[in-house]
Every structure is written in C-alpha cells, then in structure tokens.
Amino acid sequence: MKPDLLITTNGFKGTWPSIEYGAWLASTLETKITLLGVTENLNPAAIDDHHPLEDVFARAVGLFQQQGLAYNLEVQNGNAEDVIPRKAKQGNFITVLGPLGRPQIRRLIAGRSIRHLMEEIDQPILYVPEVRLPLNKLLICIGGLGYEVNAEHIAMQVAMKSRAQITLLHIVPPLDLDYPTSRTISRNWQHLTETDTPVGRSLRQALEIAKNDGLTADVKSRQGNVVEEILNEIKEGSYDLLCMGSPYSVSSLRQMYSPNVTAEIAESVACPVLTARYKRE
C-alpha cells in the first residue's frame, strides 16, 4: 500500500521548506497529505492570541489547493518531539520534518530534535532543512548490509518520476577488523562492483534496478571516515537529495556503540535527507 505523507510543523518558520517540499513530493508520488500542526507551550491566558501556526497553515492550504492536492489538517497540543512520533505510528506515512527552532541551550542539553525523532519513528523520514528543486541529482548511500533497501526503493520511485540522475556511494572505512571480506573490500575499493562481496552485490543490484527503470546511474567509492567522506561527496557533487538507511535497522548491540551516521549527516547538510529502516520479512 502506497504511504501517505505526514507533513509536520510547530509554526516555526524553518519548517516551511518541509511543507513546500512535501507538497512537491505528494504531487510527484500522487499521494495524500496530512498536515500536522503542533501547538507547543499553550498558555491558557493567551488562548485568544494569534499563534504562528495559523499563518503557516493558511499558507500551506493555499499551496495544497494551488497544486490540486488531497489533504487534511490536524492540530495537537504538546511537545513536537512527543506528538510527531505518536501520530506517525498511527498510519502508513512518510513523515516530512523540518528544523523545529529549538534554542541552542536546549540542543546542547537534550540533543538535536532530528536525532530523537529518527530514534522514535519507525516509518520513513524525510528531513528538509532547505528546498532543493528541481530534483536533478540524487545520492544513495549503499552500506552493503541491506539496511538502505527501503529508503533506496522510495528514492528510486522519486528519481523515476523526476528523471533524476542517481549516484550510488559506498564508503570504505579504515580497516579495523581483519577478515577476508574486509580485506577484499579494502584492496578493491575503487571497483567494488566487480567484487563478490555484500557491498558489491548491493551496488550491482541497485544499478540493475536503476537501469530497468530507465534511469542514469553511476557508482562512486571513497575511503576514509564515513561521515566525513559522505559530507565531502555531498559538497563536491551538489546533490539535491540524499538517501540513507538507518542504524535502527540493526537488531543487535552494534547500534548501541556505533555512531548514528544518518543523524550526524542530517544535522550537517542543507539538502533534504530521506531515511528509512530496513524491515525483515
């Protein structure tokens, strides 16, 4: 069943790019929109005051109507970090998020909101700090363990509709565990598609899917720190959309000590980031 879009805002002006991009995505995928507004810190004494959410909703409705999109509106009270995951769990959604405008002191104490939301939301997430349209260049990060498959599937659909050029990227980290597969990858990192390794098979499969969809796709490999090399590739390639898997796909202790690469990237880049957990059959 095709997912609907859950576009979220707390009235902060920084969430507008996610609404604009979400409207474009809904039109591209021909799906419905639920616009969720979160009213935070509601003061009973100021209940009749004008709330920023009203202006955002009015602007969003105008945009949806202009593009002929099917939508419904919903407003809930509470903290966005609590309300959004709760609503996301109630349906088959791609949740579209933007920066919530948290004060720096709150970010230092509690961490960035996007990191918490990625932990709590099982469904695909599209984080939009800035609109990058038209969609011409799409970067898909291939880890080799298959955790990016669900996000890759959505990205391929979007690329096919937009006729975007796809780059498949794999980062070969410094060799920390010495076993045959890691040695093969390390020695052959510049031509991984020719290797019979998990990442080589994943790259070939993704290339085949893109080819069957009539898309233009190429493969790039980089060697070094994963976060740094992804950020370098984004900067050098000027991509319009980044697609990554989620560490929360991992059902082992590994996720307890490995860095959340996707969250670190989302916190550092301006382009939209699409992520989805891998769900085993």
Q: 163 and 121: one domain? A: no
Q: 251 and 192: one domain? A: yes
Q: Evaluate whether 96 touches 275 at the Cβ level (below 8 Å).
A: no
Q: 150 and 121: one domain? A: no
Instruction: Please give the residue range of the domain that contains residue 96.
Output: 4-127
Residue 281 lies in a domain: no
**Cis ω for the linkage preceding 134 (within 30 of 0):** yes
Residue 229 lies in a domain: yes
Residue 141 lies in a domain: yes
pTM for this one? 0.87
Is the torsion defined by CA of 155, 220, 242, 259 positive or negative?
positive
Q: Quote the pLDDT of residue 281.
A: 46
Q: What is the token pair recorded at 69?
A: 């999109």
Q: Quote the pLDDT of residue 260.
A: 76
Domain boundary, last residue among 127, 154, 170: 127
Residue 15 lies in a domain: yes
Q: 160 and 113: one domain? A: no
Q: 158 and 258: one domain? A: yes
> What is the number of domains present in the chain?
2
Domain boundary, last residue among 127, 146, 180: 127
Residue 132 lies in a domain: no
CATH number of the domain encompassing residue 255: 3.40.50.620
Domain boundary, last residue among 82, 101, 127: 127
Q: Quote the pLDDT of residue 46.
A: 47
Q: Quote the pLDDT of residue 253.
A: 37
Q: Quote the pLDDT of residue 251.
A: 44
pLDDT, averaged per 10 consecutive residues of the chain (281 residues), comes to 92 96 97 96 55 92 97 96 96 95 78 86 94 95 66 88 93 70 73 81 88 91 91 95 73 45 88 80 46
Residue 61 lies in a domain: yes
Q: Quote the pLDDT of residue 277.
A: 75
Q: 117 and 221: one domain? A: no
